[in-house]
Structure 1
Amino acid sequence: MLLDLRMRNRDFFQPFEPIRDDLHFTLEGQKVEIANSLREAAEDKAYVYGVFAVETDELVGRIALTGIARGPAQHANMGYFIDQRHNGKGYATESVSLCVRKAFEELGLHRVQAGVMPMNGRSMRVLEKAGFRQEGLAQRYIRINGVWEDHVLFAMTVEELRGLKS
């Protein structure tokens, strides 16, 4: 399922992702990615979740909490993608909201942050609708599609989530 999703969206996702070798787009490559995800979850370093269409139970995306820092920091980075055919249907906003609640209420994190390239207005809107605040611009932040891209940084803390619930 994940391999099909990645293959179907390879060209659509490429402007927003690092350059990946051809192995990434094979069953073996996806097995390695899943094994790494399971190891990182067992080590409390990252958690990866599937996004499924409620109506059909089809895998339509993925959302992840990565780079988890414990100790005094208690934060994680969030990243997500949704199948091009399912963009604009609310899956990303709902997934971000659920993942943030899981991060705060079950994983005990204090802060979740996300970076979005300025050209990706739809993703910025997802974060804003989910209650994230914009913090600033990180210049040449992540190498995406072979280029060091600026990212607009967004974040939410557990206190802000509690404020949204009131």
Structure 2
Amino acid sequence: MSSSNIYLKLLEMKDAEAILDIKRRNRDFFQPFEPIRDESHFTLEGQENEIANGIQGAKNDQSYFFGIFLKENDELVGRIALTGIARGVFQNAFMGYYIDQKYNGKGYATAAVSLCVEIAFSELNLHRVEASVMPRNLPSVRVLSKAGFRHEGLAKTYLKINGAWEDHNIFAITAE
């Protein structure tokens, strides 16, 4: 799936080194918005394990991990994932994403979110996609708003981020 400047592709093992590079270079930048991770996460094996879990998740229709690639040179600049997929009467997934700091503010995250929603609805036949964002993460709030997500409420002490239980705004978009 592609947009004017980027495309999404399911992550493969060959992408592990590029993802590791992004994770290492952006460690301090990402940390205020992520769980505290074990040092093994910042190794090639750690990223290969994460991609392997993503590949298995896609086979089981439980999760899909996409790389965000620049069309101009096929550079991997981030990741977006649909996880916790529930079928039956719910038809829901949770979305999470990150973009390399050097590519922030260029519209890539908004384009990736829009493309991922398109995949969720047209290819995966989901009805709803949710994303949660800490209220102080204003750039991510703007991304979701620009991509058509609606604010549904505040979940108090929702996720343990950077060692502390953090409130999160809940956003969602439905197929309608």
Q: Which range, TM-score by smaller chain? A: over 0.9
- Residue 57 of structure 1 deviates from its aligned partner by 1.5
Offset from partner CA, 1:117-142 (integer Å, 9 cap, x none): 00100000000000000001000000
Q: Distance in 1 between matches of 2:37 and 2:152?
A: 29
Instruction: Give RMSD over aligned pairs.
Output: 0.6
What is the alpha-carbon distance in structure 2 between the residues aligned to residue 135 and residue 74 of structure 1? Answer: 18
Distance in 2 between the 1:28 and 1:114 partners? 28
Q: Which residue of 2 aligns with 1:5?
A: 22
Structure-2-length-normalised TM-score:
0.89
Q: Which residue of 2 aligns with 1:38?
A: 55
- Aligned structure 1 segments of 4 or more residues deviating by more than 2 angstroms: none
Amino acid at match of 1:131: G
Tell me which of 139, 150, 153 is aligned to 2:170.
153
Task: Give secondary structure in 1 for the equivalent of 2:154.
Answer: strand
Q: Give 2:166's aligned amino acid.
A: E
Counterpart of 1:27 in structure 2 is 44
Counterpart of 2:7 in structure 1 is none
Alignment counterpart, residue 109 of structure 1, candidates 104, 118, 126: 126
Residue in structure 2 matching 1:131, options 148, 151, 164: 148
1:17 paired to 2:34: yes
**Distance between the aligned counterparts of 2:83 and 2:33, measured in 1?**
17
Letter in 1 for 2:105: G
Partner of 1:68: 85
Paired with 1:89 and 1:54, the residues of 2 have a C-alpha distance of: 14
Partners of 2:70 and 2:22 in 1: how far apart?
13
**Secondary structure, aligned partner of 1:126:** helix
The answer to which structure has the higher helix fraction is 1
Distance 1:127 1:55 in 2: 25
Unaligned runs of 5+ in 2: 1-17
Alignment partners' CA distance in 2, 1:120 and 1:53? 24
TM-score by length of 1: 0.94
CA distance in 1, matches of 2:133, 2:105: 17
Question: How far did 1:109 drift?
Answer: 0.2
Aligned to 1:141: 158
**Which segments of 5 or more consecutive residues in structure 1 lack a partner in the other structure?**
160-166
Q: Summarize deviations over 1:1-40 as a string: whole Å, max 9, x none.
A: 1110111101100000000011000011111111111111
Given residue 70 of structure 2, which amino acid in structure 1 is its aligned partner?
A: A
Aligned partners of 1:65, 1:28: CA distance in 2, in Å? 22
